[in-house]
Amino acid sequence: MNENAPGPIDKLIAIDLDGTLIAPDNTISAENVAAIRRAEQQGAAVIVVTGRPYVSADAVAARVGLPRVPVVGFNGALIRWSCGGPELACTCLAADVSCEIVEMCLGRQLHLHYYLNDDLFVSRYNDLARRYCERNGMNCLEEPDMRRFSGRQPLKLLVIDEPANVGRLLDEARQRWDHRVYVTRSMPQYVEFLSPQVSKGRALDWLLNFYGVPRQRCLAIGDSMNDLPLLEYAGVPVAMPDADEELKRLARFIPSNTPCGVAEAIDWFLRGL
């Protein structure tokens, strides 16, 4: 149970960050923050569930003023207490398949990010890396030859490319590594590689068991491909107005606008309980 919450937890709200809680200019509306407070006061555990690294997700949780709760980073590869607290669950990508992905990326000169614990290594420090770090509030280390990580197990590998190339790379990676890798996309320009035992849906299952909350009392809000497992598992799925069409087909509610969409979804959810 969340020891700092106002009362017993009897519902759970899982919120994606980019494109959902966080606007493109990296702001969070006051309406969204106020709705989160209302939900907590009515017995909800509000959890950040994101593809972002933990350090970035934890900073957002602090910015929103969440009490001590689990934070889900790396699309579910890492679940850790907020405020830099201890790890609760961790699932890394296998070393052998990580080496294969690195070889493919180096051979094609793709812009690659390699995540080891709280450290981010980039194949080149360029505008792509700079913008990523600025948006996520992180530092990174340049490592042109990531073959030196052979034998290591990263939390995630990420390629940044032109959106026009991402769909083709996604399809190719899924065919090549099939059940050995979970390949997904959280932003139009990202391709993400994780353990096949990882997804936001699996993380949500863990959270519901942790809090003892039934699925029908769980709201999940998302907008992109990596949010699909989250919405599929939640009892009450919500897709943002600009979400992928597959998410919209699953959704029981679609907010009228993006800046205050989380607030609109939370208030709709609370009224229905």
Q: Cα separations (Å) of 148 from 96, 144, 151?
A: 13, 10, 9
pLDDT surpassing 80 at residue 5? no
Give the C-alpha separation, 4 to 8, whole Å: 10
Q: What is the pLDDT of residues 179-217, one digit of tens each?
A: 999 999 999 999 999 999 999 999 999 999 999 999 999
Q: Would you say 200 and 49 are in contact if contact means Cβ atoms under 8 Å apart? A: yes
Q: Which residues pair with 119 in a beta bridge?
A: 116
pLDDT surpassing 70 at residue 2? no
Closest by Cα among 25, 97, 124, 15 to 64: 15
Question: Taking the complete model, does pTM exceed 0.85, yes or no?
Answer: yes
Q: Spelled out in words, what is the top-level CATH class assigned to the domain 11-90+199-271? A: alpha beta
Q: Which two tokens stand for residue 152?
A: 């290591």
How high is the pLDDT of residue 213? Answer: 98
**Cα separation of the two ends of the chain:** 21
CATH topology assigned to domain 95-194: 3.30.1240
Asked if the domains at 11-90+199-271 and 95-194 fall in one CATH topology, the answer is: no
Give the C-alpha separation, 273 to 262, whole Å: 17
Q: Which two tokens stand for residue 164?
A: 């026009």
From the CB of residue 15, how many other CB atoms can be counted at a distance below 10 Å? 25
Give the C-alpha separation, 48 to 51, whole Å: 10
Tell me whether strands 70-73 and 78-81 are parallel, antiparallel or unpaired. antiparallel
Q: What is the pLDDT of residues 134-157, one digit of tens each?
A: 999 999 999 999 999 999 999 999
Give the C-alpha separation, 184 to 75, whole Å: 9
pLDDT surpassing 50 at residue 25? yes
Burial (0-12, 13-18, 19+ Cβ within 10 Å), 221: buried
The widest CA-to-CA distance across the chain, in whole angstroms, is 54
**Residue extents of the structural domains in the chain:** 11-90+199-271, 95-194
Burial (0-12, 13-18, 19+ Cβ within 10 Å), 146: buried
